Structure 1
């Protein structure tokens, strides 16, 4: 009996130790990633903060980059300079692509920005049966070797929900990718519905 209790206690202690270690590691990785993200837009931030002259061509490289596009718009919004944001990137699809890329980059998800991302379609779901729709943007993504997910090929990622009156850079609260959802084995509609039911509706 004492041996059993000792083993059980050791197992519980091991689980607790792993959970605490994982939490600390994820927090440390998150801080590091946030610092890296800030560095990517620091040149733009410095100009905004110091009041230096800023033009559309100055902003364009930051908007073109899928990893800095969303943060660039947020920075310009904070400084009331969204007039400088390139019109071609002021769409829900362009914003959703950037949001998904940043979500996938997080260490607990793909831990990388996809090497390729392609918008598949918008999926609209009547969430209450009264013709009130929410919308999800679905993307196909893939990474190159040597990333561990390269062997799986294209996978799906979903960003949303958006509403009929949503603006492009409104924050989507249910961005998600199962990563294992292979694009040739499940439809965009099925994946969007899964995210709607299991992520969006449970928040």
Structure 2
């Protein structure tokens, strides 16, 4: 009975935290949303701050896409790496993950695997991230985050199937290749088995 009570409590808590985070994320993008919804003209200059911010970049692109206005999205942020960076930062913000946006995030490399043994390749973008004190993960330094898989014809803001970080996988313990391989085998492929 105690285990069932804990599971129910945990599910309710995570759902509440998720709803609160979604509300907070919407508030970040609300000025752009309101302007678009009211039919006002929006310029590229007005979109730029939302594209520059890794916490609003992905949502800003989606909002513009829904309005068929992606031509307003700055080209320097309309890349697979910029999209993956934003996706990872947003994923890490979840309370069940890092519970914060990284203070620093840098793309390290793209790791490629033959998906099916027939020269069909998938790519993962690997980043190093870190947070400052007093966050609990600051003591470990740079940790790795992986976003993908992407295919040769993937568009920058196509949703990745596997965004993941074993926050304990620090740069001094595991290579970017090995972390991408772990995500490929244990997160990405798990959904296909």
Bin for the TM-score computed over the shorter chain: over 0.9
Distance 2:5 2:133 in 1: 33
Aligned-CA RMSD value: 0.5
Distance 1:20 1:73 in 2: 35
The answer as to 2:5 corresponding to 1:17 is yes
The answer as to 2:39 corresponding to 1:74 is no
Residue 86 of structure 2 is matched in structure 1 by: 98
The answer as to 2:168 corresponding to 1:183 is no
Residue 33 of structure 1 is matched in structure 2 by: 21
The answer as to 2:159 corresponding to 1:171 is yes
Residue 37 of structure 2 is matched in structure 1 by: 49
CA drift of 1:38 comes to 0.2
CA drift of 1:131 comes to 1.2
TM-score (norm 2): 0.98
4+ residue runs of structure 1 moved beyond 4 angstroms? none
CA drift of 1:185 comes to 1.4
Residue 112 of structure 2 is matched in structure 1 by: 124
Q: 1:121-174 CA deviation, whole Å, 9 max, x = no partner?
A: 000001211111000000000000111100111000000000000000000010
TM-score (norm 1): 0.93
Distance 1:88 1:153 in 2: 29
Residue 85 of structure 1 is matched in structure 2 by: 73
Asked which structure has the greater CA Rg, the reply is 1
Q: Could you say what secondary structure the match of 1:34 adopts? A: helix
Task: State the number of aligned residues.
Answer: 191
Q: 1:78-98 CA deviation, whole Å, 9 max, x = no partner?
A: 001001000000000000000
Q: Which ranges of structure 1 fall in alignment gaps of 5 or more residues? A: 1-12
